[in-house]
Homo-oligomer: A and B are copies of this chain.
Amino acid sequence: MKRCAFLSVGDEILRGFTTDTNAGWFARALSPFGWEFTEGQTVRDDVSSIHKALTRLKNADLILITGGLGPTEDDVTREGAAAYLGKKLLFREELWQEIRERFKKRGGEIPLSNKKQAFLIEGALPLKNKNGTAPGQFYDNGTQVIILLPGPPSENRPMFLTEVMPLLRDRGEEPRLKSVIGVVGGGESYVAQIAEPSGLQGIEAGYYYNSEGWVEIHLYNRDLTKNEFFACRQSLVCRLHRDPSLFLFSGSSLNETLFRELRKREMTIAFAESLTGGLAGDRLVSLPGASSIFLGSVVAYDNAMKVTSLGVRRETLKAHGAVSMETAQEMAEGVARVSGSATALSFTGIAGPSGGTREKPVGLTYIGIAVMGDVSVECFQLHGSRERIRRQAVSYGYAALLRRIGYSYR
């Protein structure tokens, strides 16, 4: 593996006014090509801070720098990189020409301050920027590659794909084998313990509990053959399958798995939500084309709406309460009837932080699963914050439905 380092330049990041999503994106883009991020740094818009940070990273095979290429006085990444390399910045007429043309097209007058964007490190290649005025720079001294890109993702990502990748491809090693498995039903330490009770040989594994309330297992080959890698993955999958509380799926998106499997079966879906407040629908709608399977939800947060919009019986609510197996069942039946959907999920539970009792503690959740008129209810005791419980509930529901319609990871 070749080692990359990431340098992010900008006061606005250190002050918390911009969330830096560049490092993650570039890491994912480079990793299959055998380039691996081993370190990241964030520094201020300041020549000596940039210079020092680059000096610390002198052993990296590649340094990717984002930010600080704008036209204002505090944009000094060019100067910092030139100082590190011991090179001059040279004015390039053809770059200045391009920047001026960009302004002309927009119909604006060009501020003279933009002239600084036409300076290139001696010996560097310019990288075209179709979505902004700041050109990037690519410098190779034989042992280390330095890349300068503007900060905004809308500019640096297209530039990376069209300008940088072709230059890098030749230098990178072969991509490593990789596999991602999703697991619903346990935290990261629980899943890791089941997956590798005695460690893994020749494979690197990462366990990440994500914001949707399930665990991503990322497996990277270290030194196995292709067959050995997949055999090792398979035995890990078998161990996980043996635990009935865990649900496995392939890839890194539970939403997309549900979407794809319903579409494959030409089945529609609807939700009756209480606890989840609309989240179950929202997650599906985040996918383009959701309308081909998703009919809608009834979010019956208030009990009266459970009765009027879902047809839950008043007697059921009185006898068993809103958080009960019986209510979950009638909610799922109700939304399937109202929407005419082939499948439906209902969610009722106690999100907390208050409102729990001895019999019905915070985290108690009933999920109704309706498939072609047949309804079953599953009960879970979830843990954590209000938001964690609500997010987990949706994932547990998606998993329960996938199981019911016959999806199984292999």
Inter-chain CA distance A385–B132, complex, in Å, is 9
Pair A37/B15 contact, Cβ less than 8 Å: yes
Q: Is A261 an interface residue (CB 8 A)?
A: no
Q: Is A188 an interface residue (CB 8 A)?
A: yes
Inter-chain CA distance A294–B276, complex, in Å, is 13
Pair B301/A285 contact, Cβ less than 8 Å: yes
In residues 349-370 of chain A, which contact B (Cβ within 8 Å)? 351-354
Pair B13/A19 contact, Cβ less than 8 Å: no
Residue of B nearest to A133 (CB): B189
Pair B15/A206 contact, Cβ less than 8 Å: yes
Pair A154/B23 contact, Cβ less than 8 Å: no
Query: What mask results when residues 274 to 295 of chain A are scored 1 for a CB within 8 Å of chain B, else 0?
Result: 0011111110111010110011
Inter-chain CA distance A271–B14, complex, in Å, is 37
Residue of B nearest to A180 (CB): B17
Inter-chain CA distance A87–B215, complex, in Å, is 34
Q: Is A24 an interface residue (CB 8 A)?
A: yes
Report B-chain residues with C-beta under 8 Å of the C-beta of A280: 278
Pair B44/A41 contact, Cβ less than 8 Å: no
Q: Is A300 an interface residue (CB 8 A)?
A: yes
Pair A309/B296 contact, Cβ less than 8 Å: yes
Task: List chain A positions with a Cβ less than 8 A from chain B.
Answer: 6, 8, 11-21, 23-28, 31, 36-44, 49, 56, 70-72, 106-108, 111, 113-114, 131-132, 152, 154, 188-190, 192-193, 206-210, 216, 218, 270-271, 273, 276-282, 284-286, 288, 290-291, 294-302, 304-305, 308-309, 338-340, 351-354, 381, 383-388, 390
Pair A39/B43 contact, Cβ less than 8 Å: yes
Pair B38/A40 contact, Cβ less than 8 Å: no
Contact of A16 among B31, B108, B113, B282 (CB under 8 A): B31
Inter-chain CA distance A276–B283, complex, in Å, is 10
Pair A296/B301 contact, Cβ less than 8 Å: yes
Inter-chain CA distance A84–B19, complex, in Å, is 29
Report B-chain residues with C-beta under 8 Å of the C-beta of A27: 14-16
- How many whole Å from A160's CB to the nearest CB in chain B? 13
Pair B300/A296 contact, Cβ less than 8 Å: yes
Report B-chain residues with C-beta under 8 Å of the C-beta of A108: 190
Report B-chain residues with C-beta under 8 Å of the C-beta of A276: 282, 285
- How many whole Å from A336's CB to the nearest CB in chain B? 12
Inter-chain CA distance A42–B26, complex, in Å, is 14
Inter-chain CA distance A209–B12, complex, in Å, is 10
- 9 CB contacts below 8 A, A to B, read A14-B39, A15-B28, A17-B24, A17-B206, A20-B23, A39-B49, A271-B299, A277-B294, A281-B299
Contact of A190 among B12, B111, B131, B277 (CB under 8 A): B111
List of 10 A-B pairs having minimum Cβ-Cβ separation, nearest first? A278-B278, A277-B285, A278-B281, A16-B27, A40-B42, A16-B24, A297-B299, A16-B28, A296-B305, A278-B282
Inter-chain CA distance A339–B25, complex, in Å, is 42
Report B-chain residues with C-beta under 8 Å of the C-beta of A339: 302, 304-305, 308-309
